[in-house]
Protein backbone atom coordinates (compact mmCIF):
# COMPACT_ATOMS: atom_id res chain seq x y z
CA UNK A 1 0.00 0.00 0.00
CA UNK A 2 1.46 3.35 -0.97
CA UNK A 3 1.57 6.58 0.98
CA UNK A 4 -0.98 9.00 -0.49
CA UNK A 5 -0.60 12.78 -0.28
CA UNK A 6 -3.39 15.31 -0.59
CA UNK A 7 -3.36 19.04 -0.06
CA UNK A 8 -3.72 18.70 3.72
CA UNK A 9 -3.32 14.98 4.50
CA UNK A 10 -0.79 12.19 4.40
CA UNK A 11 -2.45 8.77 4.25
CA UNK A 12 -0.03 6.03 5.31
CA UNK A 13 -0.63 2.31 5.73
CA UNK A 14 -1.61 1.85 9.36
CA UNK A 15 0.96 0.61 11.88
CA UNK A 16 0.77 -0.77 15.41
CA UNK A 17 1.95 2.65 16.63
CA UNK A 18 -1.41 4.05 15.44
CA UNK A 19 -3.41 1.80 17.78
CA UNK A 20 -3.82 4.31 20.60
CA UNK A 21 -5.10 6.95 18.19
CA UNK A 22 -7.59 4.49 16.70
CA UNK A 23 -8.83 3.44 20.13
CA UNK A 24 -9.21 7.09 21.19
CA UNK A 25 -11.63 7.56 18.26
CA UNK A 26 -13.75 4.71 19.59
CA UNK A 27 -13.95 6.39 22.99
CA UNK A 28 -15.61 9.54 21.62
CA UNK A 29 -19.41 9.16 21.84
CA UNK A 30 -20.02 11.56 18.94
CA UNK A 31 -17.62 9.67 16.66
CA UNK A 32 -19.40 6.41 17.53
CA UNK A 33 -22.94 7.83 17.42
CA UNK A 34 -23.90 6.35 14.05
CA UNK A 35 -21.98 3.12 14.61
CA UNK A 36 -23.24 1.93 17.96
CA UNK A 37 -25.31 4.74 19.46
CA UNK A 38 -22.32 6.53 20.96
CA UNK A 39 -21.08 3.91 23.38
CA UNK A 40 -17.32 3.71 23.90
CA UNK A 41 -15.87 0.44 22.65
CA UNK A 42 -13.55 -1.49 24.93
CA UNK A 43 -10.45 -3.08 23.42
CA UNK A 44 -11.78 -6.58 24.01
CA UNK A 45 -15.34 -5.83 22.89
CA UNK A 46 -14.77 -5.17 19.20
CA UNK A 47 -15.75 -7.79 16.67
CA UNK A 48 -12.59 -9.50 15.37
CA UNK A 49 -14.38 -10.13 12.08
CA UNK A 50 -14.87 -6.39 11.58
CA UNK A 51 -11.25 -5.31 11.82
CA UNK A 52 -11.69 -2.69 9.13
CA UNK A 53 -14.32 -1.02 11.34
CA UNK A 54 -12.23 -1.16 14.51
CA UNK A 55 -8.62 -1.11 13.32
CA UNK A 56 -5.77 -1.68 15.72
CA UNK A 57 -2.88 -0.81 13.43
CA UNK A 58 -2.14 -4.12 11.73
CA UNK A 59 -4.98 -4.31 9.23
CA UNK A 60 -4.38 -4.38 5.51
CA UNK A 61 -6.28 -1.82 3.46
CA UNK A 62 -6.42 0.75 6.32
CA UNK A 63 -4.57 4.07 6.07
CA UNK A 64 -3.83 6.41 8.95
CA UNK A 65 -4.57 10.04 8.11
CA UNK A 66 -2.32 12.72 9.56
CA UNK A 67 -2.04 16.40 8.79
CA UNK A 68 0.86 16.86 6.42
CA UNK A 69 1.85 20.15 8.06
CA UNK A 70 2.01 18.92 11.67
CA UNK A 71 1.76 15.13 11.67
CA UNK A 72 -1.31 15.43 13.90
CA UNK A 73 -3.68 12.46 13.85
CA UNK A 74 -6.84 13.13 11.84
CA UNK A 75 -8.40 9.66 11.58
CA UNK A 76 -8.35 6.65 9.30
CA UNK A 77 -9.60 5.60 5.88
CA UNK A 78 -9.99 2.15 4.41
CA UNK A 79 -10.61 0.70 0.99
CA UNK A 80 -11.65 -2.85 1.76
CA UNK A 81 -11.74 -5.30 -1.17
CA UNK A 82 -15.08 -7.10 -1.30
CA UNK A 83 -14.33 -8.95 -4.55
CA UNK A 84 -11.98 -8.64 -7.50
CA UNK A 85 -13.76 -5.60 -8.94
CA UNK A 86 -15.45 -4.16 -5.85
CA UNK A 87 -14.19 -2.34 -2.75
CA UNK A 88 -15.87 -0.64 0.18
CA UNK A 89 -14.75 2.78 1.36
CA UNK A 90 -14.77 3.61 5.05
CA UNK A 91 -13.49 6.50 7.15
CA UNK A 92 -13.54 7.83 10.67
CA UNK A 93 -12.19 11.21 11.76
CA UNK A 94 -11.61 12.90 15.08
CA UNK A 95 -14.44 15.23 15.98
CA UNK A 96 -12.06 18.21 16.03
CA UNK A 97 -11.37 17.55 12.32
CA UNK A 98 -15.02 17.50 11.22
CA UNK A 99 -16.41 20.14 8.90
CA UNK A 100 -13.10 21.00 7.24
CA UNK A 101 -13.44 18.93 4.08
CA UNK A 102 -10.83 16.42 5.21
CA UNK A 103 -13.10 13.38 4.95
CA UNK A 104 -13.86 14.17 1.31
CA UNK A 105 -10.22 15.01 0.61
CA UNK A 106 -8.92 11.72 2.00
CA UNK A 107 -11.77 9.66 0.54
CA UNK A 108 -11.24 11.18 -2.90
CA UNK A 109 -7.54 10.28 -2.83
CA UNK A 110 -8.27 6.71 -1.79
CA UNK A 111 -11.06 6.19 -4.33
CA UNK A 112 -8.84 7.58 -7.09
CA UNK A 113 -6.04 5.24 -6.05
CA UNK A 114 -8.48 2.31 -5.97
CA UNK A 115 -9.62 2.93 -9.53
CA UNK A 116 -6.21 3.78 -10.97
CA UNK A 117 -3.96 1.30 -9.12
CA UNK A 118 -6.23 -1.56 -8.04
CA UNK A 119 -8.48 -1.37 -11.10
CA UNK A 120 -11.71 -1.68 -9.13
CA UNK A 121 -14.83 -1.44 -11.27
CA UNK A 122 -16.98 -0.07 -8.45
CA UNK A 123 -16.46 1.40 -5.00
CA UNK A 124 -19.29 1.52 -2.47
CA UNK A 125 -19.80 3.13 0.91
CA UNK A 126 -22.54 2.80 3.51
CA UNK A 127 -23.84 4.87 6.39
CA UNK A 128 -27.00 5.28 8.40
CA UNK A 129 -29.60 7.23 6.44
CA UNK A 130 -29.68 9.83 9.23
CA UNK A 131 -25.91 10.44 9.03
CA UNK A 132 -26.20 13.46 6.76
CA UNK A 133 -22.55 14.51 7.15
CA UNK A 134 -21.24 11.17 5.91
CA UNK A 135 -23.76 11.11 3.09
CA UNK A 136 -22.54 14.56 2.04
CA UNK A 137 -18.95 13.28 1.92
CA UNK A 138 -20.08 10.48 -0.39
CA UNK A 139 -21.84 12.99 -2.65
CA UNK A 140 -18.80 15.30 -2.72
CA UNK A 141 -16.59 12.50 -4.02
CA UNK A 142 -19.00 11.59 -6.83
CA UNK A 143 -20.88 8.70 -5.26
CA UNK A 144 -24.60 8.40 -5.86
CA UNK A 145 -27.40 6.78 -3.92
CA UNK A 146 -27.91 3.12 -4.81
CA UNK A 147 -30.35 1.77 -2.20
CA UNK A 148 -31.48 1.76 1.40
CA UNK A 149 -31.36 -1.43 3.44
CA UNK A 150 -33.57 -1.97 6.47
CA UNK A 151 -32.38 -4.57 8.93
CA UNK A 152 -33.74 -5.87 12.20
CA UNK A 153 -30.98 -5.15 14.68
CA UNK A 154 -31.06 -6.96 18.02
CA UNK A 155 -30.13 -3.69 19.77
CA UNK A 156 -31.24 -0.83 17.48
CA UNK A 157 -29.72 2.62 17.90
CA UNK A 158 -31.51 5.94 17.34
CA UNK A 159 -31.99 6.50 13.63
CA UNK A 160 -31.56 2.86 12.61
CA UNK A 161 -35.26 2.68 11.77
CA UNK A 162 -34.47 4.91 8.76
CA UNK A 163 -32.15 2.25 7.36
CA UNK A 164 -28.64 2.13 5.98
CA UNK A 165 -27.87 3.99 2.76
CA UNK A 166 -25.60 2.45 0.13
CA UNK A 167 -23.83 4.80 -2.26
CA UNK A 168 -21.54 3.87 -5.12
CA UNK A 169 -19.40 5.12 -7.97
CA UNK A 170 -18.10 3.16 -10.94
CA UNK A 171 -14.75 3.68 -12.60
CA UNK A 172 -16.44 5.21 -15.67
CA UNK A 173 -18.46 7.59 -13.51
CA UNK A 174 -15.36 8.55 -11.53
CA UNK A 175 -13.59 9.79 -14.63
CA UNK A 176 -16.53 12.03 -15.51
CA UNK A 177 -17.44 13.38 -12.06
CA UNK A 178 -14.03 13.87 -10.49
CA UNK A 179 -12.04 16.54 -12.31
CA UNK A 180 -9.35 16.53 -9.62
CA UNK A 181 -8.58 12.81 -9.46
CA UNK A 182 -5.38 12.21 -7.53
Using DSSP, state whether 153 is helix, strand or coil.
coil
Quote the CA–CA distance of 13 and 168 in Å, as a whole number: 24
* 17-26: average pLDDT: 85
Give residue 140's pLDDT: 93
Q: Is the pLDDT of residue 113 over 90?
A: yes
pTM for this entry: 0.85
Mean pLDDT of 39-58: 56
Average pLDDT over residues 64-88: 93
Quick one: angle between helices 29-36 and 19-26, nearest 10?
70
The pLDDT of 6-12, averaged and rounded, is: 96
Report the pLDDT value the prediction gives residue 45, as an integer from 0 to 100.
Answer: 52
Amino acid sequence: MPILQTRHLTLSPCRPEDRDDFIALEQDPEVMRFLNGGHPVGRDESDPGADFLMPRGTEPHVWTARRTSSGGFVGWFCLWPESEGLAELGYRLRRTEWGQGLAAEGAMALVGWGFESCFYDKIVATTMAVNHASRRVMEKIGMHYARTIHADWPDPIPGSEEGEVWCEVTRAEWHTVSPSNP
